[in-house]
Amino acid sequence: MAECKRRSRINSQFATLRTILPNLIKVNKASVLEETIRCVKELTNTVSGLKETYGGGRLECVFPASADKLRIGSCEGKGQEVVKVVFSCDDKRKLLSDVARAVRSVKGKVVRAEMVTMGGRTKCVLWVQGINGNDELKMLRRVLNALTEKPKYGEDI
């Protein structure tokens, strides 16, 4: 009985692999394993290439972090101080318009924005002008924290 269950599980996993492998021509087990190994090697090489390109192992600099994060720092922009805002959060409707509204509420202006969405998570990098002094920086942090935090149980999304 145990052997029958084990074989059934193995066959079920092979069936799953057959449905998700993109270039599978033959459907026998040896071909499925061969194609699986080829795909894993290809994905490993892709990840290695991304790590080389984007910071030696820190893919978080390209892709959204798995946990909600907010980082704000200043950098020099063409004669005017620019605040760089980086955050990751769950992807949600109206995220961009909510972010723009939050930045405008503290008298800031987004001069550049980059966004990556993957697996239900979003990472935004914003360059904001017009934030002067610690008070405005604290307000910006507060409004963005409120925007990116997960809704509490029972709240509408």
pLDDT at 44 over 80: yes
Beta strands 80-90 and 69-77, pairing class = antiparallel
| pTM given for the model | 0.55
Average pLDDT of span 102-126: 87
Mean pLDDT of the residues in the chain: 82
pLDDT of residue 157: 45
CB atoms within 10 A of CB 128: 22
Mention every residue, 6+ apart, whose C-beta is less than 8 A from residue 116: 62, 63, 64, 122, 123
Q: Give the model confidence (pLDDT) of 102-113 as tens digits.
A: 888 888 888 888
Structure tokens at 30: 């040896």
Residue type, 120: G
